[in-house]
Amino acid sequence: MTTALIAIAAVGLGWCTIEIACKPCLEKGREAIDRNLNPDYDPDDDHHQTSTLHAPLNPDNNDDDAAAAASSTEDGFLL
């Protein structure tokens, strides 16, 4: 009986440890599952995520950096 209680306590503490350590990842996964199981959810209506899809990868990139990168690749060397 004592061994069973120790085993149950160990499983409970392990579960709590995983929940605390992986909380951000688990919350995102649970939100995604809830969203996909929701029959009223329409991905086309989700404007928040689609607005970031077309954002530039390097918004602070200027023409001088592009020219320097192009000249370094012409020589065959990458910085």
Res 68 pLDDT > 70: no
Letter string b/e over residues 14-25, b meaning 16 or more CB atoms within 10 A of that residue's CB? eeeeeeeeeeee
Rounded to 5°, angle at Cα 40 from 24 and 19: 20
With H, G, I as helix, E, B as strand and everything else as coil, classify residue 5.
helix
User: Where along the chain do its domains lie?
Assistant: 1-42
Res 78 pLDDT > 70: no
Return the half-sphere exposure (C-beta side, CA atoms, 13 A cut-off) of residue 42.
Answer: 4
Answer yes or no: pTM beyond 0.85.
Answer: no
pLDDT (mean) for 60-75 = 58
Contact partners, residue 35, CB within 8 Å, separation at least 6: 41
Strand extents, DSSP E, 1-79: none
Residues 10-65 pLDDT 10s: 999 999 999 999 999 999 999 989 988 888 877 777 665 545 556 666 767 665 55
